[in-house]
Amino acid sequence: MRRSPKDQVESERRIGRRAMLLGTVQAAAIATLAIRLRYLQVDQAAEFKLLADENSIKIRLLPPARGLILERGGHVIAGNEQNYRITITREDAGDTDMVLDRIARLVAFEPGKIDDVRAEIARRSPTLPITVADRLDWQEFSRVAVNAPALPGVTTEVGLSRFYPHGPDFAHVLGYVGPVSDYDLSKLSDPDPLLQIPRFQIGKLGVESKFEDTLRGKAGTKRIEVNSTGRVMRELGRVEGEPGADVQLTIDYRLQNYVQARLGEESAAAVVLDLEKGDVLAINSAPSFDPNLFVRGISGPEYRALTDHDHRPLADKTVQGAYPPGSTFKLVTAMAALEAGVISSDETVYCPGYTQLGDRKFHCWKRAGHGYMDMVESLQQSCDVYYYEVAQRTGIDKISEMARKFGIGVKFDLPMSAISEGLAPDRNWKQSTYDKPWLIGDTLNTGIGQGYVLASPLQLAVMSARIATGRAIVPRLVQAVGGKEVPSEPAPSLGLSDAFLNTVRRGMFEVSNTQRGTAYGSRIVDETMWMAGKTGTSQVRNITAAERARGVVSNDDLPWERRDHALFVSFAPYEAPRIAVSIVVEHGGGGSAAAAPIARDIVLQALYGGLPPLSAYPQSQRNRIEAQRNELKLLPPDDNSAGGQSRA
């Protein structure tokens, strides 16, 4: 069938349009390829020429800024400061011995430092930059930079290093950072490439260690050009890393500073808890140390001075220390007895000065005895015989159950190192540990906080907080991570009788506020701030029958390490509790003399939010308190420093 002339013209027109469209597309594709070829061959020619020589382009990791650690008000307690350092890369340096000798003429090194660097270079991959020196002053840094042409493989860098502006105040909480060790790497199956950088620092203890992954951040990279001699010619480009997230703690830095100063050179620990959320407001171990020493590289003599010190400044006594709680544990025994129904609050027990059990005497601290005591009086005067009796009636299993309910024998999940679980012993524990049955004498000893029972200062603070509130307060140390609040649930009820709790609280009130109370000398006279407390003294040596017969040797006449531990637990204000405090003074003697005065001062500092008026103290003590304050090394009142905040 033949097409009409009209159809043939239309067909030719369509074919023409299609051919034109196809030609246009082809032309555009050719033009694009031409432009791309010109870009690659002309515009980028220099860079691709460099890339062709694989030894002239190096990729280096850029350590990110470590996240800050803040206290509850936002002040920096672990920050970063500029650090001038020089590194050397064996692959680029060639003759590293010659280069190191040249550097040694420009920088003053400690004896043996260059040998250490040589050993580090030999151990590491030739492509890794090795830190030759850091924390240089500007003059040394500039001399090396100016002489860079004669130092192949050497790079001058301005980096960041950890800095702790409050030094010893937060040492045990924060821990410190230090260079990654082979041991650190051995614990990881897939280590972050950052950790392969020699002398890269990671958290070693405390919050720095527990939040390492959060604080570290993510590495950046930079591309550098080096010439045939290994000299860095220029930086071709960089991708900045991702800074670590900030971590904000619940601690009040001013209260922390005061508590550390108040503990002074005692071998002691103190914990302050907020009773609303369980926030740790202060947690101090004394004596302390400056964590900046470990960041900068602590010397042998400095380290030995810390490890050889009999007061153990490196140990965190607040969570690692486990002590016989002494008479502070009578609060647990009293509650266990009341809940078990074996005694009422007004029933009396006669104290002749001892309890006879078979052929053994269990003595009261008051040799002549206390006479008849009810529960409030037994707490007020800390009568041992009363608690021998009620402990025997109650039994160890119920006492241990109550101890755990109050937090003793419980390991709390705080981001601190080597937290002790303490010990609330019972029959099964002794059988499994010593393969021996539990004895009645063990129960009597436990009833007064001696024998096997152990508690940390943190657990004692929790015990006091739970007695004060009747709720299962759990200590909380972290307030926010990366700017996001860490949620906290309201503490549930312990399920204990309010009447029984009020009896124990009343006993604690009389300890601190009545003339026969064991802590009356450390009372607070401001009625709105009244403190309720309990003294404790735990023996660290056995007293023989012969020594009792001739008179027990006073703590003051014993060597320091053989003296009793002094303890005090408290909450305040009595009518509307807001805080709980625990104090342990190792080998301090009596709790009333050594621990209670410290606790009273800390309670007032916490409640007033600063130094309290002298009118809060008994009239007879005000001159001494004022003189004592003048000796404390405290932050100045107008100190708003937030040192160490730099990320740049």
Task: Determine contact, residues 90/126, Cβ cutoff 8 Å.
Answer: yes
DSSP 3-46: PPHHHHHHHHHHHHHHHHHHHHHHHHHHHHHHHHHHIIIIITHH
Closest CA to 338 of 571, 498, 512, 569: 498
User: Collapsing DSSP states into helix, strand and coil, what is residue 196?
Assistant: helix
- Positive or negative, the CA dihedral 273, 279, 282, 288 is positive
Q: How many angstroms separate the CA atoms of 149 and 636, rounded? A: 49
**Residues composing the chain:** 648
Q: Which of left, alpha, beta for 199 (phi over 0: left; psi -120 to 50: alpha)? A: left
Residue with tokens 């015989």: 385
Inter-residue contact 179 to 85 (CB < 8 Å): no
DSSP state of 551: -
Residues 577, 594: Cα–Cα separation, whole Å: 24
Q: CA–CA separation, 122 vs 109, rounded Å? A: 19
C-alpha separations of 252 from 75, 164, 362, 483, 523 in Å: 9, 16, 44, 18, 24
Can you say whether the dihedral through the CA atoms of 406, 411, 415, 417 is positive or negative? positive
Tokens of 197: 């950088």
* SS3 assignment, position 216: helix
Residues 6+ apart with CB under 8 A from 497: 338, 339
User: What is the spatial distance between Cα 271 and Cα 502, in angstroms, rounded to a whole number?
Assistant: 23
Catalytic annotation, residues: 327
Angle among Cα 299, 300, 306 to the nearest 5 degrees reads 95
175 half-sphere exposure, CB direction, 13 A CA radius: 18
Number of H helices and number of E strands within the chain? 24, 21
Q: Give every CB contact of residue 52 below 8 A, 6+ residues apart in sequence.
A: none
